Amino acid sequence: MADKEDAEPVTGRPRSLRANSLFSEDELVEDYYDAPPANSGSSWSDNGPSPRLPAPAFSGSSPGMLGDGMEGTAATAPLSPTIKAGWLDKNPPQGSYIYQKRWVKLDADYLRYFDSEKDAYSKRFIPVSSISRVTSIGDQKFEVITNNRNFVFRAESDADRNEWIRTLQQIAEERKSKALERTLMSPTTSGAADPADKSGFLELRGFKHKLFVAVAGDKVFLYKNAEDYRLGIGITYIEMNVGNVKEVDRRGFDLTTPYRIFSFSADSDQEKEEWVEAMQQSIAEALSNSEVAERIWVVESNRFCADCGSPKPDWASINLCVVICKRCAGEHRGLGPGITKVRSLKMDRKVWTEELIELFHQIGNAVANQFWAANVPPSEAITPASSSQERRRFLIAKYREGKYRRYHPLFGNQEELDRALCAAVTTSDLAETQALLFCGAAVTCATGDPQCPTPLALAEKSGQRLQMEFLLHNKNSETPRLEVGGSEEKPYSVPLPSVTHNGFLYKTPSMAKPVGERKGQEEFSRRWCTLQDGVLSYYENDRNAVPNGEIKVEEIVCLVNNPPNAHGIESTFEIYIESERLYLFGLESPDSAREWLKSIAKSFVHPRAEELLALDFERIGRLHYKGGLNLERAKEGWFALAGSTLHVCFEDSERQEPLQLRKLQELSIQGDNEVLVLVERRRTLYIQGERKLDFLGWVHAIQKAAGSAGDTLSEQQLTESDVPLLVDRCIDYITQCGLTSEGIYRKSGQNSKTTSLLEMLRRDARSVRLKEGEHQVDDVANTLKRFFRDLGDGLFTGRWGQDWLRATALEDEEAKISEYRRLLGTLPTVNRATLKALINHLFRVQRFSGENQMNTHNLAIVFGPTLFQTDGKDYKAGRVVEDLISHYVKIFNVNDQEMKKQQDEIMAIMKMREAASSGTQQAGDFICTVYLEEKKTEAEQHVKIPATMTAEELTFEILDRRKIVMKEKDYWSCFEVNEREEAERPLHYSEKVLPILHCLGTESYLVVKKQMSMENMLIYLASRVGDCKHGMMKFREERNLLGLGLSTGFHDRYFILNHTCLRLYKEVRSHKPEKEWPVRNLKVYLGMKKKLRPPTCWGFTVFYENEKHEKQQWYLCCDTQADLREWFATFLHVQNGGALWPSETSKVRASRSQQDSRLGNISLIPLRGNESEMRNSVAAFATDPLTLLRNV
């Protein structure tokens, strides 16, 4: 049997009575779809669980059962009007002689026959395009001949037969010529219909054999087998505008129509999912409205895909203003919305405003391609038959790289481009605006007109609606740029994994503002939600076919997991999308909520950031950031916040990197809430607020996570060494200002001041700077004590506190110490680090007991009860503290080096205090100001200078703070700059800084910068033998107070420099030096005062001071830069025993060698400064500092 004809109809009321309104409250508040047509499958709920009707199939229905409201088959084919229909006898297949009466119908696309005129589904369809001939074969019969199968029909009369033949021939002829036209235009495969979206075998209840099913466009086609599918001759097709798909069991699903239920069964779970998805998509397409498409197609060039030439393209990129086919649209999506915003002409109706449609008439494919496709080599062009890979490659080249575009003459000249854009938008010349915009003009450039600050405002003022529309859609568009390699790795080029998830969710209407207050349960509506094929759709209920709205996962920028019970429903989460809206969803079950979160996250987070998915994140999404070497271009990173750690997948790194937010050195917002700056020990990260809504959410969340979370130690903001910042700040201050203060820690400060200071520090210790004069020593001391006394769980912890107290009973000193050490080992890291920092501090305080009257015992009396949070009635707590201070070195395993460092520091502090009391120095002066690169406030760094600090250590300290990693051949050095003399001296790396600071005059300061000539000096020194240099230089002596020495001007003199002294000869032949100075008494500075009018710009200034503090000063000028460099190198060489630069094994370097260079090696940027300042400061590095000396 060729035709299976044992089917049953579906019972049910006529469609017209079932039509349900799909309007819901969602529609009224949301901007997704307009009201869909009323003939939606949603009404099938009325049938209850009808899909399980017995043995339904598609044919042999009894007309009467369809109900009176039905007008036969007409309803199923609204788009293809019937050309001719009538009863014919069809010759039976396979040799039977009994003709069968069939209702035969012809439309523009198909010849079909049915059991009766009221049937919706045919027994056979023959595409008109496959009909090659129609011939008369006598007895009122005629034969329809297709490529390889013939169908014989018999009419009631010759006249009827002839009419059929004439009509069929005519239609087939028309179709052929059309097909020819199309082939000429774009060679495509001969296939009858569009390529199927999904095809394959499915079981259909009522059929013995599996059928070949194809979902294509808005129809589902059934074929007997794959061969028939290839030939295009099938059983029937189902118009999906009346379809509804529902999953039944693991492999089964029903396609329900008003006329019949098709019960399919797939081979697997996975297969079923795919079929259901394809059919749902088909329904969406069928329900779409072609009104917009028809209007866009009015323009001839818009009738073919702008990219591949396929006819009737029903998708568009609304920012590029091109009409494209479905397959190209899929690839467009892969480019990301920054490049192309894909919308359907038929489904996304809301977006199609009159302005946009008109814009597509004005620009559209013709004008767009004149620009975008000006230079497409034929070898790179695509056709309707191109594979998706070919399409992707072409579209990346065309739109992302702008490879084929027609360059605007102003290309490359940003200022001119911007100016031209401002002019163009006031005219109707959209092509010019297009060219300017996609050749780099900034859509938000400054117009210089305060009345109309942006091009958009200019366009508005000039009444250019279409220019405005075009600018609006390209507000966030990226300028195409050719990139070398790696373009495939760009975000979005990798297809996201297709994640499927569905279930009921509670949902509120979407919002354009952050969720301000708690939402009550009544504000949520229950919605059936599906996450499929990159779209999160929400439906009125699980039986509806048309969603109330949907969210495309590629537009999701952030997903937030709210804390439990943040709203009236236990678990809630928020989805933020590109276009600045947020959706709030909720569930009663935290487990299901977690599943949803994971599924949604997986669907939109880029595969390279999939590591983040494993985290228990409270917020995940993409953001733009700057960091690393390239600060010109913001990159896109994926961020996840979990606890107090921000995990980041940077654009160019393999793995996610955690940033400990509580350990940040700086967290600030720059500009008008535009950039969030995070400074960690080794790096600076600028997170940019591309969009307001989700960015503000991130800022608040990061600020919160970076603050103290509670009152226990580990919940505080921490230093790099795990000591609470609050404790560190207080200890630091007391060390600087309070070590010699009488009764320190015993005297109580003012209660109110303590309270407010503690509160301030608790809120954000990072931003608090304790200053002498502003804060009283006793207030700070009291704050520290109060902090420990109120500390949740105490410093020694509730669990172990008693053990510490019990240890005091141990009589054997050694046993007691080892017990303390054991207990120390049991403390959590932060507690242990804090205890060590505190005891170290107290150890120092008692060293000053001569002045402050606080010996170990006195300190223990104060701190015992404070740390153990006891009433202090017995001395056990005090005993612990006393023991810890007394045996500080042993218990905390302090080595000699550490000890010496502390001693030195104490010495330095003593010295400072002495100086302060004698009035020669300001208190706290050993905090010195050092500049990075140049003297300006934003480059200021305040550094504590211990007595032992060398110039190298200081240099590293500064670089470290600014996250600069010293690379090979970067000769970062500390310079002493003398402004009065207009000269500077690089400190030798081993020079101690403190003494230099002491004699630094008011015109001098320290700056850390690169020593540009170091490389050449090292090469010079390595290239010669011996350590002498001699030659001519121009010499000038500063007139001293006694009026002695040379009066004015520079004079040629001959010099010899060896390892002991510098000698000056009147001329080369002189035997006896005129002057002679020991090298160790000289200080050589590069540069000299311009007012001395030096004869060349290669000069230096030399200071001489002998043991009797007699001072001299003179000036030397060389003829060339090389000469100057050689003299200077020789000076440094003889003064420092040959070591100009530390060897690689230098201790300081070694100890810092683990620095992470991935991000940090660039932040030569003032932390507070605009972008042009950043650029300038980076540019400054490229210049030779000696240029400063040349401007004579």
Separation between Cα atoms, residue 905 and residue 735, nearest integer Å: 10
Rounded to the nearest whole angstrom, what is the least distance from the CB of residue 316 to Zn ion in the complex? 11
Q: Which of 310, 548, 571, 782 binds Zn ion (CB under 5 A)?
A: 310
**Cβ proximity to Zn ion, 325 vs 758, nearer residue:** 325
- Tokens found for residue 171: 């239609």
Q: How far is the CB of 194 from Zn ion (least distance, A)?
A: 12
Per CB under 5 A, 328 contacts Zn ion:
yes
Q: How many CA atoms lie within 13 A of 177 on its CB side?
A: 5
- Nearest to Zn ion of 306, 916 (CB atom): 306
Shortest approach of Zn ion to residue 305 CB, angstroms? 3
CB of residue 318 to Zn ion, shortest distance in Å: 16
| Beta carbons within 8 Å of 1049's beta carbon, 6+ residues apart | 1036
Using the minimum distance from each CB to Zn ion, give the nearer residue, 393 or 944.
393
Q: Which of residues 327 and 682 has its CB atom nearest to Zn ion in the complex?
A: 327
Tell me how far, at minimum, the Cβ of 328 lies from Zn ion, in Å: 3
Q: Shortest Cβ distance from residue 324 to Zn ion (Å)?
A: 5
Provide the minimum distance between the beta carbon of 54 and Zn ion in the complex, in angstroms, as a whole number.
45
Helix 430-437 vs helix 414-424: angle between axes, to the nearest 10 degrees?
Answer: 160
- What three-state secondary structure class fits 425? coil
Give the distance from CA 115 to its chain's centroid. Answer: 61
Q: Pattern of binders to Zn ion over 256-295, x per CB under 5 A?
A: ----------------------------------------
**Number of residues counted as binding Zn ion (CB under 5 A):** 6
Shortest reach from residue 84's CB to Zn ion, in Å: 35
Q: In terms of CB distance, is 325 or 649 closer to Zn ion? A: 325
Our CA angle for 281, 286, 287, nearest 5°, is: 100
Half-sphere exposure of 330 (CA within 13 A, CB side): 12
Amino acid at 903: Q
Of the candidate residues 75, 216, 286, 305, the single one contacting Zn ion (CB under 5 A):
305
Least separation, in Å, of the C-beta of 326 and Zn ion?
A: 8
CB of 308 to Zn ion, least distance (A): 3
Which has the closest alpha carbon to 1171: 441, 631, 676, 454? Answer: 631
Q: How far apart are CA 564 and CA 570, in angstroms?
A: 6
Closer residue to Zn ion, CB minimum distance, 310 or 532? 310
Q: What's the one-letter identity of residue 92?
A: P
Segment near Zn ion (CB under 5 A), from 83-91, 324-332, 342-350, 566-574?
A: 324-332
Q: Give the strands of the sheet with 131-136, arranged side by side.
A: 124-127, 110-114, 100-107, 82-90, 150-154, 141-146, 131-136
Taking the C-alpha atoms of residue 310 and residue 808, their distance in angstroms, rounded to an integer, is 89
Cβ–Cβ under 8 Å, residues 470 and 434: yes
3-state secondary structure 868-920: HCCCCCCCHHHHHHHHHHHCHHHHCCCCHHHHHHHHHHHHHHHHHHHHHHCCC
Lookup result for tokens 């300038």: 1176
Site for Zn ion in 708-737 (CB under 5 A): none
Q: How far is the CB of 327 from Zn ion (least distance, A)?
A: 6
Q: Which stretch binds Zn ion (CB under 5 A): 289-297, 298-306, 704-712, 902-910?
A: 298-306
Stretch 585-604 residues interacting with Zn ion (CB under 5 A): none
Q: Shortest Cβ distance from residue 190 to Zn ion (Å)?
A: 19
Interacting span for Zn ion (CB under 5 A) from 325-333, 439-447, 765-773, 1072-1080? 325-333
The CA distance from 740 to 730, in Å, is 15
Stretch near Zn ion under the rule CB under 5 A, chosen from 169-177, 310-318, 841-849, 882-890: 310-318
How far apart are alpha carbons 340 and 333 in whole angstroms?
7
Of positions 307, 636, 883, 933, contacts Zn ion by CB under 5 A: 307
> Binding segment for Zn ion among 226-234, 304-312, 699-707, 1055-1063 (CB under 5 A)?
304-312
Distance in angstroms (rounded) separating the CA atoms of residues 690 and 811: 66
Among the residue ranges 241-249, 320-328, 468-476, 681-689, the one whose residues contact Zn ion (CB under 5 A): 320-328
| Residue with smaller CB distance to Zn ion, 308 or 456 | 308
* Helix 725-737, helix 777-789: angle, nearest 10: 150
**Cβ closest to Zn ion, residue 394 vs residue 745:** 394
Does residue number 325 form part of the binding site for Zn ion (CB under 5 A)? yes
Q: Does residue 128 bind Zn ion (CB under 5 A)?
A: no
Q: How far is the CB of 298 from Zn ion (least distance, A)?
A: 20
User: What DSSP state is assigned to residue 1184?
Assistant: -
Contact between 856 and 886 (Cβ < 8 Å): yes
Nearest to 824 by CA among 816, 833, 836, 832: 832
Stretch that binds Zn ion, among 91-99, 300-308, 804-812, 1125-1133 (CB under 5 A): 300-308
Q: Taking CB under 5 A as the criterion, which residues in 370-389 touch Zn ion? A: none
Instruction: Mark the segment that binds Zn ion (CB under 5 A) among 323-331, 668-676, 719-727, 851-859.
Output: 323-331
Region near Zn ion per CB under 5 A, out of 53-61, 299-307, 826-834, 931-939: 299-307
Q: What's the full length of the chain, in residues? A: 1192
Of 308, 725, 765, 1174, the one binding Zn ion by CB under 5 A: 308
Q: How far apart (Å, rounded) are the C-alpha atoms in residues 316 and 325?
A: 8
Closest to Zn ion by CB, 317 vs 856, is 317
Window contacting Zn ion (CB under 5 A); options: 327-335, 618-626, 1054-1062, 1079-1087: 327-335
CB 128 within 8 A of CB 81: no
Instruction: Rank residues 326 and 988 by Cβ distance to Zn ion and give the closer one.
Output: 326
Q: How far is the CB of 19 from Zn ion (least distance, A)?
A: 35
In contact, 974 and 951? CB cutoff 8 Å: yes
Question: Quick count: other Cβ atoms within 10 Å of Cβ 146?
Answer: 19
Tell me which DSSP letter residue 191 carries.
Answer: -
- Residues that bind Zn ion in the complex, under the rule CB under 5 A: 305, 307-308, 310, 325, 328
